[in-house]
Amino acid sequence: MTTRTATAVREPRIRTTLDLPTSLRDRIQSAIKQGVAPSQNAFIIQALEEHLARVEQARIDAEFAHMGEDESYRTLQLQIAAEFAHADWEALQTEETQP
């Protein structure tokens, strides 16, 4: 999973306030002391970006899963595969005969 780093182009920022449970803030501070992030702000940004990446990936995965259940999409994919079968076969043969 990729996250943004300090070398990324800096986006405009907006200041916001978080109301964190004390135990969570303590865990964040402990992670910072262990070198996980240079600051609480950097840690929270990284955590939010990683979480959003997982949420976005889950949404994409759900859309792909839905495509597999869509009969018209499956029919179209089979038609396209059939139309390109000869070209795929030629490409495979060409690849196998080249050194």
Q: Hey, what amino acid is at 28?
A: I
Q: What is the pLDDT of residue 99?
A: 67
Locus of tokens 């702000």: 41
Per-residue model confidence (pLDDT) at position 9: 76
Three-state SS for 1?
A: coil
DSSP SS3 for 20: coil
pLDDT tens for each residue of the chain, 99 residues long:
444 555 567 889 999 999 999 999 999 999 999 999 999 999 999 999 999 999 999 999 998 888 878 888 889 988 998 988 888 788 877 876 776
The pLDDT of residue 2 is: 47
pLDDT at res. 88: 78
